[in-house]
Structure 1
Amino acid sequence: MANYQKSEAALAASAQLIGIFAEKIRRQIIIALGNSGDGLNVTDITALVNISRPAVSHHLRLMREAGVIEMRSNGVEHIYYLTLTAPLKQLQMTFDALAADYQPVTKQSD
């Protein structure tokens, strides 16, 4: 029987990221930012995902806390852009731990 302790720790460390990618609006924001090149401001993001500005700000805050996006100031305007290197590395480590622990159940033939 496999011991999933490493997988459990890896999944716990990645839970916030998994939640970020699980939410449809946040996936839409990620795609919009990825397609933007230099990033987008809240007004642009609001228009693209068609939700209220406060709702966009809420999602952006969660995404910043998870390290999926960053913000830079351009005068009074805030521009958001993707920073996926560290989050993707974290998820890869999680999937690697799961793969290392996983032992498929084999069917017994009659």
Structure 2
Amino acid sequence: MANYQKSEVALAESATLINIFAEKIRRQIIIALGNSDDGLNVTDITAMVNISRPAVSHHLRLMREAGVIDMRSNGVEHIYYLTLTTPLQQLLSTFNTLAADTQAAGGK
């Protein structure tokens, strides 16, 4: 019987990130921020993803908590930008663990 205990732990640790990337609006926000040179404010993001400002703020909060984006202040407005290096390293580590467990189980 295969033992995926390491994968279970790694997947649990990455569940929030996986959920961030799984949601369509958040993916749209990531792409919009990725296509921006200097980041975007909430008004810009709201116009691009075509949902309410409170809904955008909700998604941005979740994304900040997960470490996918960060924010800087520019006077009274907040500018959001991507911070993907650490989250992507975590996901890569998770998938490498899953691949190793799969290999150890004979590729099942």
TM-score bucket of the superposed structures, by smaller chain: over 0.9
Cα RMSD after superposing both structures? 0.7
> How many angstroms apart in 1 are the aligned matches of 2:14 and 2:78?
27
Which letter maps to 1:20? I
1:85 match:
85
Residue 53 (1) aligns with residue 53 (2): yes
TM-score by length of 2: 0.95
TM-score by length of 1: 0.93
> How many angstroms apart in 2 are the aligned matches of 1:37 and 1:4?
41
Corresponding pairs, count? 105
Q: Which secondary structure does the structure 2 equivalent of 1:73 belong to?
A: strand
Identity %: 84
Task: Measure how far apart 1:104 and its partner are.
Answer: 2.2
Deviation by residue 1:51-101 (Cα, 9 ceiling, x = unmatched): 000000000000000000000000001000000000000000100000000
Higher Cα Rg, which structure: 1
Runs of 4+ in structure 1 over 3 Å off: none
Structure 2 unaligned regions, length at least 5: none
1:42 match:
42
Structure 1 unaligned regions, length at least 5: 106-110
> How many angstroms apart in 1 are the aligned matches of 2:7 and 2:29?
29
